Amino acid sequence: MEKSILAGCDLHDRSLLVLAACGSDAPQKRTFLNTPVVRADMLKWLHNIAAGARIVFAYEASGLGFGLHDELVAAGVCSHVLAPSKLQRSPQQRRNKTDEKDAQQILAVLRGHFLAGNPLPAIWIPDKATRDDRELLRARMDAQDKCSGVKTQIRTLLKRNGVMHPERLKTCWTKAYCDWLQALSECDEPLAPGARCTLGSLLRQMQLLESEVELLDQQIQTLAKTRCYGKPATALMALAGVGCLTAMVFLTEMGDLKRFRNRRQIAAFLGLAPSAYESGESNDRKGRITRQGPSRVRHVLCQAAWNCVRGDPHEKKIYDRIVSKNPKQKKKALVATMRRLAIRMWHNAVAA
């Protein structure tokens, strides 16, 4: 077997702890600052240890992104980013956790893969263009979440002060409803001065966030018409319940759709597959969905599934049939709709 230097790294905002070893030999430990200059020193150290041999480097995925992975690949290092949720840790390990022990575990996983052929829990690395496109979609969803949070604050403020909206305003957040709120923040009654100032502040925040959502929507629509997304986005928006935002979130978060071989892999990746617990004589015990994978895709799929049930008679018939079996478990029918919709989206996008 080709000689390889295996390196496990515990990555943090300010530091990297690296354990490097040749095969099953005792590892060498070094700690580096997480800066571009010092990371270059780390690469020199690894190349000196390797002396021309292949270097295999692994670390856990985190909020730091894939910058370290890009640097390693550019330096000729075989880099793997591991999924933290797939690294097995006992309750004792969680209570006694150090940087060195984390690096040891990553190195042990690498050794198990290259020396014994164990599966490597590595994640798929999106290209830089896909990562940048994700930033736009995630900013749009974050802005909408913040706007929804401000609206909740407004309704809570009115409840605390015992203010009920007029009977003529049957629907919330229409133009007439917002005009009533604005007038409420400017008149002396029924709110006290402090509550009026707070309501006015919240209304200004809501207007700013709504403007930001509209601006981001325009930029997403422009992105959906580019060469990379034009055909698959159009194919997805042809499905009942799927709009531009849902289609673009699906395409950017899923990445290369051809890496999925069948519908089971799609459902498992999106966390829409049932969990399983089998032990001894208890076989085929299924639980709730795993909820693993990108939660943003499940969020837009949930909204799209409701629209699909309302707009597609065939889906409405299936939904009603599942609900009729257990009227108290309507969520199961919705999840089933989400799963079928995600699979159809995958088929349409790949065929486009």
Mean pLDDT lowest for which of 80-94, 143-157, 230-244, 329-343? 80-94
pLDDT at 306: 96
Least reliable range by pLDDT among 21-25, 58-62, 200-204: 21-25
CA 74 to each of CA 77, 79, 132, 196, 204: distance values in angstroms, whole numbers, following the listed order: 7, 10, 19, 57, 47
Residue 278 has pLDDT above 80, yes or no: no
245 has a pLDDT exceeding 90: yes
Q: Which residue has the higher pLDDT, 345 or 168?
A: 345
CATH, domain range 4-116: 3.30.420.40
Residue 290 has pLDDT above 80, yes or no: yes
The pLDDT, as a whole number, for residue 213 is 97
Query: What mean pLDDT is reported for the chain?
Result: 93
Q: Which residue ranges make up each domain of the chain? A: 4-116, 128-224, 230-351
pLDDT of residue 64: 92
Percent of the chain with pLDDT over 90: 82
